Amino acid sequence: QVQLVESGGGLVQPGGSLRLSCAASGSISRIYIMGWHRQAPGKQREFVAHILSGGYTSYTDSVKGRFTISRDNAKNTVYLQMNSLKPEDTADYYCRGYGPGYNYWGQGTQVTVSS
Task: Evaluate whether 19 touches 8 at the Cβ level (below 8 Å).
Answer: yes
CA atoms within 13 A on the CB side of 48: 28
Query: Does the pLDDT of residue 1 top 90, yes or no?
Result: no
pLDDT at 30: 84
Average pLDDT on 70-98 reads 96
How far from the centroid of its chain's Cα atoms is residue 74's Cα? Answer: 18
Higher-confidence residue of 106 and 53: namely 106
Quick: pLDDT tens for 25-70. 988 888 889 999 999 999 999 999 999 988 999 999 999 999 999 9
Average pLDDT on 100-114 reads 96
